[in-house]
Amino acid sequence: MGDDYPTLFRSEQMSLMQFLIPTEVAHDTVAELGELGNVQFKDLNPAVNPFQRSFVGEIRRTEEMARRVRFFESQIQKDKDVVPIRPLYDSAPLVTVGPSAAHNIDGLDVTLAGHETRLGQMNDSYKTLSERTRELVEARHVLRETAVFFEKAETQQTDIRTSFDDSSAPLLQHDDREQQYLSSVQFDLEFVAGTIDRTRISTFERVLWRVLRGNLYMNHTDITEPFVDPATGTETRKNVFIIFAHGDALLAKIRKVAESMGATLYPIDANADKRSDSLREVTARLEDLETVLYNTGLNRRSELLRIGENLARWQDVVRKEKAIYETMNLFNYDVRRKTLVAEGWVPTRDFAMIHMALRHATEESGTSVVPILQELHTSKTPPTFTRTNKFSEGFQTIMDAYGIATYQEVNPGLFAIVTFPFLFAVMFGDIGHGLIIFFAALYMIIQEKKWARQELNEIVGQFFYGRYIILLMGMFSVFTGLMYNDIFSKSLHIWHSGWDFPEPASNGVSYAVSNGHMYPFGVDPAWHGADNGLVFTNSYKMKMSIVLGVIHMTFALCLQLPNHIKFKRPLDIYANFIPQMIFLQSIFGYLVVCILYKWSIDWSTRDTQPPSLLNMLIAMILSPGNVDATAQLYRGQGFIQVVLLLLAVVCVPWMLCMKPYFQWKEMQMIQGQGYVGLGHRNGGPRESTDEVLENEEEGNGRAIVEEMEEEHEQHDFSEVVIHQIIHTIEFCLGCISHTASYLRLWALSLAHAQLSEVLWSMTIEKFLGLSGIFGTIALVMVVVFWFSATVFILCLMEGLSAFLHALRLHWVEANSKHYQGEGYLFMPLSFAKLDEKE
């Protein structure tokens, strides 16, 4: 197409460009092209190990910076109070191109390293201080509890002492003994004190009892507050214990057992004054530590805040630099010309834009050598690039999910813009529900700019991505709702109905009389409450599904034509397209015509009974030519049906044999000319080989590796035949099964209508008659329930279901008629897309 504008009809024309970039400008050029997002670079060093490529050093440095940035991010996230990260569009820019670029990157490296060391130090000291705090707190507990023990022990001693008073002993001797006794209490019974996990205390006791054969006195109490481990956040509960025993050997044993059970021992003095001194000292040290901890926390927080100011910008810069160097690793270094050689796919239309970008990069960097751009000729298949905008992006994505279109074949995404919402709406037809989803989509579109900046939840993000699809779905649903005359399961009475209901007969059944009027737009509302309403609607919807299905498939089949014409395959038109079309139309097109014809006759004026179309079709195939005169649709039906059936039957061998035969003849001709073994490709490969030879003569030292890697289609004749057999069978059987598959349009719309009606009749209808204040409140509550059920069940669930089925119809029934889908996506180096990938 000599077109000046890109269209969605086909993917863009791509050309392979060769860039000759002087090494000084390389970084800035790649940065500029990355901003543009229009070039997909080829890997020119596929055999080179990633660790041996030229820019490994730079990549390592950027990886180091990326690791530091990730570390900061995790630290910020772990912090209990939220540290605000300034968003990217608000951050101060960091210049990464031009003469000052290297200096800026070095500065960034130093800054990041500095932040990391400082943060690391603060984290370490925080941890150490916390540990020490914990120990001191434990020591304080131990001191307190042991103080209690000793007091108790002393009171007990005084008790024992008083019991001695009863005996007849002289006073002075008594006092001596008292002194002796007290001192013996203090010096003979030595002890071990410490803390242990609450879970282990009973085991500890038992083990000690057994080891020391009961020669100990142990006491323990709980520490009420649990200890929180700063690293993991787990809580442990500990007990304070004190064990009295005498003798060094026993004490040593106790100490060993305690250590093996994971207890922590603390040196406690027997003297009460010394204990209170220790307590005061511990308390003082604790206070100091708390202050230091608090200050460290403050410092850390201020450091994190400073990091948060720039974090987004750093992430962006690091990501871009890494992408730039990875791309530069794909380039080839040409020793003769001392430049980097790059090859990439570029949309032909954007050639001028790329040229300007290269020139801009050169200006930015301050050198005067402009990179050279050359077009290469190749027979490799270019990637498929479809230029979409925010509207068509969604539609293109859902069609691409089935398979990327072959380079420059007709793009089904263009037609899906209308056919997809339309088929969805046929399954979803309800004015009310259509309006609900229309307004939901409208809201998302109005908030587009704001939402695009935010990080959306995964599910909400999916809905946001498809907002234009949902908008169109809503619009078409309103239309089909008007057609089905269904708004929240009620019908609208906009025009005069075509039926009059007389007074009911004795058995309560009344038959409507047609009054000659035609309800002009949609299903007559009189059908809405009728007993046999479903019979009519089912027949109507089923026939409509078949009509729409056959027309959709015919349309998809016709899309083959532009492909055959563009890729110069006239054989395919005669061998594939025409027989397929005839086959489809002679059976199913005939069915559609019969449906429409049967509808257009006034059967009350005919003497024949209206025939069942399904039986008619089956009879046409099973017993052709025999048409019962009383059940015929039109005169001469038998003869015409035989002709159509014969046409369809002729198409099968036509499809089967014609293409293989002609391809075999071609192969014979080529073999006859002595060109055996060369890869045979349709469409004149000879011109490109001539050019390649020419260029070789001129001495262009280009890496001409094209032919070696080209796909050699070995035209094994058996393969061709098998391929054609599969294709034929698939098409013929597919015709029948796909036509029946379109009946899902009827099935889902029936389900939707019934669900909607059940919801109404089970909820609101029951509450409409109630009166009084109680009735009104109940009605309001039921309305709320009805509305939320409508949104969640009918709109969301049914909507997703209809979405899926409409998509399936596009993917299987329509695409199988024309789509090859063997392309690969165009993935340019694009900094904008890097964000999305993250």
Partner 1 sequence: MASVIPVILILAIVLGLMACGYLFVPKGLHQTTIRTAIMLTLASCYLMWMVTYMAQLHPLISES
Q: Which of 284, 518, 797, 832 binds partner 1 (CB under 8 A)?
A: 518
Q: Which of 19, 325, 438, 519 binds partner 1 (CB under 8 A)?
A: 519
Task: Give min distance, CB of 466 to partner 1, in A.
Answer: 17
Q: Which is nearer to partner 1, 265 or 613 (CB)?
A: 613
Q: How many CB atoms lie within 10 A of CB 828?
A: 20
Place of tokens 């008073």: 165
| Contact of 504 with 510, CB cutoff 8 Å | yes
| Contact of 296 with 125, CB cutoff 8 Å | yes
Task: Give min distance, CB of 798 to partner 1, in A.
Answer: 19
Phi-psi domain of 366 (left: phi exceeds 0; alpha: psi -120 through 50; beta: other): left
Q: Which is nearer to partner 1, 6 or 734 (CB)?
A: 6
Q: How many CB atoms lie within 10 A of CB 324?
A: 26
Q: What angle do CA 225, 230, 232 make, to 5 degrees?
A: 105
Task: Give min distance, CB of 512 to partner 1, in A.
Answer: 4
Task: Give min distance, CB of 449 to partner 1, in A.
Answer: 21
Q: Which of 95, 284, 513, 770 binds partner 1 (CB under 8 A)?
A: 513
Q: Which is nearer to partner 1, 204 or 424 (CB)?
A: 424
> Which of 803, 750, 783 has the alpha carbon at shortest distance from 395?
803
| Contact of 682 with 662, CB cutoff 8 Å | no
Tokens standing for residue 561: 């034509």
The answer to the question of residue 813 lying near partner 1 (CB under 8 A) is no
Q: Which is nearer to partner 1, 85 or 482 (CB)?
A: 482
The answer to the question of residue 604 lying near partner 1 (CB under 8 A) is yes
Task: Give min distance, CB of 742 to partner 1, in A.
Answer: 13
The answer to the question of residue 90 lying near partner 1 (CB under 8 A) is no
Q: Which stretch in 208-216, 435-443, 506-514, 768-776 sits in contact with partner 1 by CB under 8 A?
A: 506-514
Long-range own/partner contacts, residues 594-600 (CB < 8 A, 24 or more apart): 594/633, 595/543, 595/546, 595/547, 596/547, 597/633, 597/634, 598/633, 599/543
CA distance 801 to 807: 10
The answer to the question of residue 522 lying near partner 1 (CB under 8 A) is yes
Q: Which stretch in 255-263, 306-314, 535-543, 735-743 sits in contact with partner 1 by CB under 8 A?
A: 535-543
What letter represents residue 700's amino acid?
A: N
Q: Which of 12, 58, 321, 524 binds partner 1 (CB under 8 A)?
A: 524
Task: Give min distance, CB of 491 to partner 1, in A.
Answer: 13
The answer to the question of residue 599 lying near partner 1 (CB under 8 A) is yes
CA distance 515 to 160: 120
What letter represents residue 502's amino acid?
A: P
Q: Which of 340, 440, 526, 809 binds partner 1 (CB under 8 A)?
A: 526
Task: Give min distance, CB of 726 to partner 1, in A.
Answer: 32
The answer to the question of residue 603 lying near partner 1 (CB under 8 A) is yes
**For the window 607-636, what string marks contact with partner 1 as x by the rule CB under 8 A?**
---x--------------------------
Residues 402-431 that bind partner 1 (CB under 8 A): 414-415, 417-419, 422, 426
**Residue 187 CA, distance from chain mean position:** 75
Radius of gyration (Cα) for the chain, nearest Å?
43
Q: Which stretch in 165-173, 530-538, 759-767, 777-785 sits in contact with partner 1 by CB under 8 A?
A: 530-538
Count Cβ neighbours within 10 Å for each residue of 477-510 and write b for 16 or more, e otherwise: bbbbbbbbbbbbbebeeeeebbbeeeeeeeeeee
The answer to the question of residue 512 lying near partner 1 (CB under 8 A) is yes
Q: Which stretch in 211-219, 271-279, 513-521, 715-723 sits in contact with partner 1 by CB under 8 A?
A: 513-521
Task: Give min distance, CB of 473 to partner 1, in A.
Answer: 13
The answer to the question of residue 217 lying near partner 1 (CB under 8 A) is no
**For the window 547-566, what string marks contact with partner 1 as x by the rule CB under 8 A?**
xx--x---------------
Residues 435-494 that bind partner 1 (CB under 8 A): 479-480, 483
Q: Give DSSP secondary structure letters for 429-473.
A: --HHHHHHHHHHHHHHHHTHHHHHHS---HHHHHHHHTHHHHHHH
The answer to the question of residue 509 lying near partner 1 (CB under 8 A) is yes
Kindly give the residue spans of alpha helices, DSSP state H, lying in 495-589: 533-558, 560-566, 570-572, 578-584
The answer to the question of residue 166 lying near partner 1 (CB under 8 A) is no
Residues 8-67 that bind partner 1 (CB under 8 A): 8-9
CA distance 497 to 490: 15
CA distance 221 to 198: 10
Q: Which is nearer to partner 1, 404 or 416 (CB)?
A: 416
Residues 698-757 that bind partner 1 (CB under 8 A): none
Site residue total, partner 1 (CB under 8 A): 58
Q: Which of 81, 159, 458, 531 binds partner 1 (CB under 8 A)?
A: 531
Q: Please, is 234 exposed, middle or buried when counting C-beta atoms within 10 Å of its C-beta (0-12, 13-18, 19+)?
A: exposed
Q: Which stretch in 540-548, 668-676, 694-702, 797-805 sits in contact with partner 1 by CB under 8 A?
A: 540-548
| Contact of 343 with 18, CB cutoff 8 Å | yes
The answer to the question of residue 656 lying near partner 1 (CB under 8 A) is no
The answer to the question of residue 507 lying near partner 1 (CB under 8 A) is no
> Which of 627, 613, 637 has the alpha carbon at shortest distance from 739?
613
Q: Which is nearer to partner 1, 415 or 826 (CB)?
A: 415
Residues 363-402 that bind partner 1 (CB under 8 A): 389, 392
Residues 6+ apart with CB under 8 A from 296: 122, 125, 126, 129
CA distance 550 to 560: 16
> Which of 105, 570, 54 has the alpha carbon at shortest distance from 318?
105
The answer to the question of residue 510 lying near partner 1 (CB under 8 A) is yes
Task: Give min distance, CB of 592 to partner 1, in A.
Answer: 10
Q: Which is nearer to partner 1, 345 or 424 (CB)?
A: 424
Q: Which stretch in 122-130, 516-524, 803-811, 827-835 sits in contact with partner 1 by CB under 8 A?
A: 516-524
Task: Give min distance, CB of 441 to partner 1, in A.
Answer: 16
Q: Which is nearer to partner 1, 498 or 685 (CB)?
A: 498
Task: Give min distance, CB of 430 to partner 1, in A.
Answer: 15
14 strand-pairing partners: 347
Q: Which stretch in 35-43, 150-158, 441-449, 593-601 sits in contact with partner 1 by CB under 8 A?
A: 593-601
Q: Which of 98, 297, 403, 533 binds partner 1 (CB under 8 A)?
A: 533
Place of tokens 């901003």: 35
Phi-psi domain of 565 (left: phi exceeds 0; alpha: psi -120 through 50; beta: other): alpha
Count Cβ neighbours within 10 Å for each residue of 689-705 and write b for 16 or more, e otherwise: eeebeeeeeeeeeeeee
Residues in the chain: 838
Q: Which residues bind partner 1 (CB under 8 A)?
A: 5-9, 389, 392, 414-415, 417-419, 422, 426, 479-480, 483, 498-499, 501, 509-514, 516-524, 526-527, 530-533, 535-536, 539-540, 543-544, 547-548, 551, 596, 599-604, 610
